[in-house]
Amino acid sequence: MISPESLPDTTDCQRVGPLERGLSVLRALCAPDADRMRHSDLVRATGLARSTVDRVVSTLDRLALVRSDGREVWLAPRLMEVSGAYLRACGIPAALGPLTERLADEFDESVSVAVPDGDGVRFVLQTRRRRAMAVSFRIGDLLPADRCAPGALFGAGWSEDQWAGDDQHIEPGLIAVAVPVRGRQGRTVCAVSVVSHTSRHTLGSLKDAVLPRLREVRTELEAALAAPRPEDAPRAAPDASREIKRELGPDFLQSLARGIAVLVALGGDRGEGMTLSAVAEATGLARATARRSLLTLEQLGQVACEGRQFRLLPRVLELGCARLSELTLPEIAQPHLTALVERVHESASLVVLDGTDIRYVARVPTERIMSVTITVGTRLPAYATSMGRVLLAGLAPGERPALPAELPALTRHTVTSSREIGRIVDRVAAEGFALVDEELEEGLRSLAVPVRDALGRVVAALNVAQHAGRGTADEARGALLPALRETAELIEADLRAVRPF
């Protein structure tokens, strides 16, 4: 175990240079005006040599934290595993999420939760109301503390009647009322804000409408923060960087990969911090290696050391959280659909359930003389499609939408008995896939698998469609099902990273 007294000053010989340089590249990619950047843009933004930037990008690409086509580089959803580590470790989104949802419903206003970060505040939770004049704060956004309601609450002495207001300091028309929330040690750890617009309230009327209720529910919020946390938080995988290094050679920066693993492992903090030994065990790294990464991250302001415990700081959220947390399911899935089509040479789609229909939300067609022509937004009856049967199978029997006893026959092969559809859906739930052969349209065959979120719920269906004349149904299943399942797993991994709660 180590303490501040036993830690020597972080000198150049102790700092992990590749980790510093890798994080500088990530910060450049996460800049507000950055989207896709060329390697030469990264050289200018970071001041690093081109060869260094190339090696950093190669490493981050191999870790699935960025994507690169050889010319441009952009953030990948899996980078959210890093900022998600802070969101898990602080415990605020998981503990307060249900309560802020309830408050947002009660007030019919957006509710935010922010934490202090140096001279600013960062948002860690946001429950929005959908309006033309909507709040545009994102998880991970940093605001100056002296210009927003939460900032006035941090560092001040705590009192029962304490509150703060923001009367259009951040943006014309934007008003907010915030109250502090204490952690286990009795100090203010976050602030809960109700945010509105001058078209709906003045600051005074918003205060009158929400402040009594915020004070009333504060005890419940603090109890939720103090409650014991589950012990099943994701941990970093054992160190695999050695094998990747052997595979890729000098283009792979092993110490950068290990530093990222240390950041992710700190997400296993249950509110007390993690010791050096715990971090080394979670990552599979030698204590000396983990220690050097921790010292470097502390120097960079990503990690704090208190006694023998290390914990993540909100600054970790600057690594892509604001942008990646806004990704939609279609945006997450699109690159994987493209890769699937390139692999199987058939059209691929992602759909969601909409009542008794399916609705296409993402699609990549294949280029053939005879191909399936469907566009995003198309709706089709769920009972006659492989995707619909997968989505129905993801519901509990009592949650499935009611169907008429006899359904329309779309082709001579369509199953029209709702009782038989129920039996088919039960089989799909057991087998984990659905194959529909010419029931929706003559000559059209479709194979689909479920896509699940972080809680294991089926949120979408992924399918590949082909002409039925290209072999038998069994041949299609054998050729396409493994690729479909592997693609679904990749989408699910990205979805878990972006939506960890």
One DSSP character per residue, 156-202 reads: SPP-TT--EEEESSSSTTEEEEEEEEE-TTSSEEEEEEEEEETTT--
Q: Residue 87: pLDDT above 50? A: yes
Q: What is the mean pLDDT of the chain?
A: 88
- The pLDDT tens digits for 330-351 are 999 999 999 999 999 999 999 9
**Reported confidence tier of residue 237, pLDDT bands at 50, 70, 90:** low
Distance CA 279, CA 305 (A): 13
Q: Residue 131: pLDDT above 80? A: no
pLDDT at 7: 37
pLDDT at 156: 65
pLDDT at 16: 84
Question: Rounded to two decimals, what is the model's pTM?
Answer: 0.85
Taken in order of first residue, the domains within the chain and their CATH numbers are 4-85+232-324 (1.10.10.10), 93-226 (3.30.450.40), 329-498 (3.30.450.40)
pLDDT at 369: 44
pLDDT at 137: 74
Range 20-34 average pLDDT: 93
Distance CA 48, CA 23 (A): 12
Distance CA 294, CA 10 (A): 10
**Reported confidence tier of residue 234, pLDDT bands at 50, 70, 90:** very low
**Reported confidence tier of residue 4, pLDDT bands at 50, 70, 90:** very low
How many of the other CB atoms lie within 10 Å of CB of 393?
Answer: 24
Range 254-282 average pLDDT: 92
Name the burial class of residue 457, with classes exposed (0-12), middle (13-18) and buried (19+) by CB atoms within 10 angstroms of its CB: exposed
